[in-house]
Amino acid sequence: MGHKLLKWWTHHYLRLQVRRRPPLPLTGFNPQAVQKVLLINSTALGDLLFSTPAIRALKETFPDWRLDILVNPGYAALVRHNPHLENIIPFPGRSWRLLPLMGELRRNRYDLVVILHGNDPEATLLARATGSPYIIGSAGSSLNFVYSEKIVRQDPFEHAIERRLNFVRPLGADIDDKRMQLILPSAELIRAEVLTLRHFGKLPLLVAFHPTGSGRYKWWPQESFAALGNYLQETYGASILIVSGPRDRQEGEALAARLTGPTLVTGDRSLPEVAAFLKQCRLFVGNDSGPLHLALALEVPSIALLGADHPRRIGPYQVDWGTYLYRKEEVCSQEHCLNRDCPDNRCLQAIQVADVVDLLRNWWEPRKLPGR
């Protein structure tokens, strides 16, 4: 079923459903009657990590609630060890694959569904399919007539972590500690350390680069990464971990070929393996992408190279181990542009290697712990 057809069908189907059984307003919600809650976060890796403070807030406020989560199957392994989540449900994608899941969710009998971040129309369709009397979702959805509570974005520059907390605040859940959370099993961490030792012959001062991302409009130039990598290797004796997946492995290997010192390209390794390698790193430098947020969740000192989106929305948030470089407002007149069609990526080209080196000297060096 095509996406447009699915949207049309879902809209009319849900209209009929709501006429038969309108959503209950959240004013009648009784937290004491809740046993099972479904959280929907079926999009990108960064979206999932941005949601972890909201998940923690829910569990700390309501420790007796069982929290299940519907996630992109590629990221399910990353939340498997989250102590606040009971059941990880893979999102199967569009079309007929939704039908078995709709039946499964209805059998689970959820008392509440919260759409923290999801693809529409699928997320709303699945939320309604649970039969839950209460659904919380974004007022920006064209299907918000299904929701018990419609969450309005008050500030266009509100950080993504705060936006997700806004979905649980009407329930009385909130949290002061807004760090993203990622828990890795000790076996994975030990395995990554052994592989690092085997590859480099020692445990090096390891620095991670992520030179790609979801779109080229977000990429800092490869020649800049190469110059920075050679500087790090010559100045600090660093070895470079280049984070890349199957789709961008060629770019990762091309960057490795331009570096004069030891490198390791993650390539086809699983996300938990990549995360375990990142945990060993003393620094991460990368574009606006999932690995950036992964490094921040792992408390790796991180420099974000931002251009397409504003750092107030997606940059390091309330952590002293994250900082960023952002030059868009100096070189681009398109105030709210996301640069998808930008022909020359000028906002990222405006970030110079010297700018990063300055951060290394004045921000990163004081955070390096000798002997680690």
Collapse the DSSP code of 189 into the 3-class scheme (helix H, G, I; strand E, B; otherwise coil) and give the result.
helix
Residue whose C-alpha is closest to residue 61's, from 146, 151, 175, 155: 175
* Edge-to-edge order in the sheet of strand 149-151: 87-90, 66-71, 36-41, 112-117, 135-138, 149-151
Report which secondary-structure segment, H or E, holds 276. Answer: helix 271-279
Q: Counting Cβ atoms within 10 Å, is residue 130 exposed (0-12), middle (13-18) or buried (19+)?
A: buried
**Under 8 Å between Cβ of 312 and 291:** no
Residue whose C-alpha is closest to residue 76's, from 213, 270, 242, 267: 270
Residue whose C-alpha is closest to residue 14's, from 120, 158, 124: 124
What residues of the chain score a pLDDT lower than 70?
A: 1, 333-341, 343, 369-372
**Under 8 Å between Cβ of 110 and 17:** no
**Under 8 Å between Cβ of 29 and 47:** no
**Under 8 Å between Cβ of 71 and 49:** no
**Under 8 Å between Cβ of 68 and 91:** no
Query: Fold for domain 186-367?
Result: Rossmann fold (3.40.50)
Give the pLDDT score at 370. Answer: 47
Query: Fold for domain 14-171?
Result: Rossmann fold (3.40.50)
HSE-up of 360 (CA within 13 Å, CB side)? 19
Collapse the DSSP code of 148 into the 3-class scheme (helix H, G, I; strand E, B; otherwise coil) and give the result.
coil
**Domain segments of the chain as ranges:** 14-171, 186-367
Q: Do the two domains 14-171 and 186-367 of this chain adopt the same fold?
A: yes
Q: What is the pLDDT of residues 63-110, one digit of tens each?
A: 999 999 999 999 999 999 999 999 999 999 877 788 999 999 999 999
Q: d(Cα 9, Cα 102) in Å, to the nearest integer? A: 16
Give the pLDDT score at 96. Answer: 77
The angle formed by the CA atoms of residues 277, 76 and 106, to the nearest 5 degrees, is 170
For 274, the token pair is: 């990549």
**Under 8 Å between Cβ of 370 and 248:** no
DSSP 146: G
Give the pLDDT score at 5. Answer: 81
Q: What is the pLDDT of residues 141-181, one digit of tens each?
A: 999 999 999 999 989 999 999 999 999 999 999 999 999 99
Give the pLDDT score at 371. Answer: 44
Q: Whole-structure pTM over 0.75, yes or no?
A: yes
Give the pLDDT score at 338. Answer: 59
Give the pLDDT score at 4. Answer: 79
Q: d(Cα 209, Cα 347) in Å, to the nearest integer? A: 19
Q: d(Cα 356, Cα 325) in Å, to the nearest integer? A: 8
